[in-house]
Amino acid sequence: MRKLRREPLSEHATRVLWKQTVKIVEAGNSEPSRSKLAKARRDEAKRLWKQKAEATFDEIRATLKRMASGVERCMYCESNEGTDIEHFWPQNRAPCRAFDWTNYLLACSACNSNHKRDRFPRRHGELLLINPTEDDPLDHLVLTPTGKFVPITDKGEKSIPVFGLHRGPLERSRVIAWAAVDGLIVRYANACARGDSSLALGTQKALCEYPQVSVFAAILRVAEGTAAEDFLSPECLEALAAHPEIKSWLDG
């Protein structure tokens, strides 16, 4: 996982989402108890979700794909194609956020249906999951060259099992990505040294769109640390020192 920037929606899509949210908030206002009010809102959210406007959600899906890491990767695992519009705050638990743009992420079916589902751990009201559009995951997780995420906060500790970030195939793919990113950084520096701008630009694109792009972000952090020589090749460290622009590529 890595920090992602949320893009704005069109005025039309924003208005559609707001109208649906108002309907959910107003549902059950005449109910005599909080439990019945909550149920009425859940039921209304489910009803409206089934009838959601396809044109509006085509825009929402397209915007989420632009926001995602790599080439439309899942915002949790970064390995699979993102196919599902995921409610970060689960619809059953927060029906009034069913049509909240800031509550939408792009997830693969494995992460959405098999791992996160409706799990949403909190403690004393505090949310204990990383939202990659609000939090920098690398403030809560350390990615090691072995492909494992190590938690450094409570959010990190809870997020690993809920998002399934400790899956064996994901850890193996991060190990592969670590070696590949190290090599691509070196290739970029070599292309610049030869004046091959086409190869340099192509390598930049490959680095920014490589699956498991959080590996690239982690390597940039490791390079600033005292143990950089233990985890990165000398050629990679030399390339990063000679080309500081590399460190800004994931900022956009």
Summarised one tens digit per residue, pLDDT across range 227-238 is 899 999 999 999
On whether the pTM is more than 0.75, the answer is yes
Q: What tokens does 236 get?
A: 């990679």
Q: Tell me the mean pLDDT in the region 96-110.
A: 95
d(CA 81, CA 231): 29
Q: Is the pLDDT of residue 157 over 80?
A: yes
d(CA 164, CA 142): 16
User: What is the helix (H) or strand (E) element at residue 142, kind and residue range?
Assistant: strand 141-143
d(CA 77, CA 81): 10
The mean pLDDT of the chain is 93
Q: Tell me the mean pLDDT in the region 5-17.
A: 96
The proportion of the chain whose per-residue pLDDT surpasses 90, expressed as a percent, equals 79
| C-alpha of 41 from chain center | 28
3-state secondary structure of 130: coil
Q: What tokens does 78 get?
A: 């970064």
DSSP state of 110: I
pLDDT digit string, tens, across residues 36-91: 999 999 999 999 999 998 899 999 999 999 999 888 999 999 999 999 999 999 99
Q: What local confidence, expressed as pLDDT, does residue 126 receive?
A: 86
